[in-house]
Amino acid sequence: MAEPKLLSGGNPQIPKGEGDAPVQAYIAAMPGWKQRIGRTVDAIVAQVVPDVRKAVKWNTPFYGLDGATWFLSFHCFERYVKLTFFRGTSLDPVPPGKSKQAEVRYLDIREDDAIDEAQLADWIRQASALPGEKL
């Protein structure tokens, strides 16, 4: 099987798909240090939201509960991995990255950043309890 193509910023080009397998393929194709972040985020989601539904859409892993709406995604950029909380303004505390979309908030994790796993787990727990975003 050919290695996935890396798009702009080192984002893996993974075929659209439902379930854990496409998400794991995306994470396995994340370059270098970004793979550690992908594995950490995915593991925390699986621990906090045991019945999570996963998918890859637009070369991006998505996490939701019903397979039709989503509470979290992440995407590789050159210098960071961007986590997107679709109802981020409803989280406490609100994640730091603002968006042009009113409710969306981002968390950018760079190579040398320590991941606050407790805070991330809390945000994921909160986000999974909110109505998801239909995309």
**Predicted confidence (pLDDT) per residue in 5-54, tens digit:** 888 778 899 899 999 999 999 999 999 999 999 999 999 999 999 999 99
> pLDDT tens digits, residue range 78-122?
999 999 999 999 999 999 999 999 999 999 999 999 999 999 999
CATH class entry, domain 8-134: alpha beta
- Residue appearing with tokens 């798909």: 17
Residue 67: per-residue pLDDT: 79
Residues forming a β-bridge with 17: 56
Residue 7: per-residue pLDDT: 84
Q: How much is the mean pLDDT over the chain?
A: 94
Comparing 63 with 3, the larger pLDDT belongs to 63
- Residue appearing with tokens 């910023």: 9
Decide: helix, strand or coil at residue 104.
coil
Q: Could you give the CA distance from residue 97 to residue 81 in angstroms, rounded to a whole number?
A: 12
**Does 1 have pLDDT greater than 60?**
no
pTM over 0.75: yes
Between helix 117-128 and helix 34-48 the angle, nearest 10°, is 50
For residue 47, the surrounding DSSP H or E stretch is helix 34-48
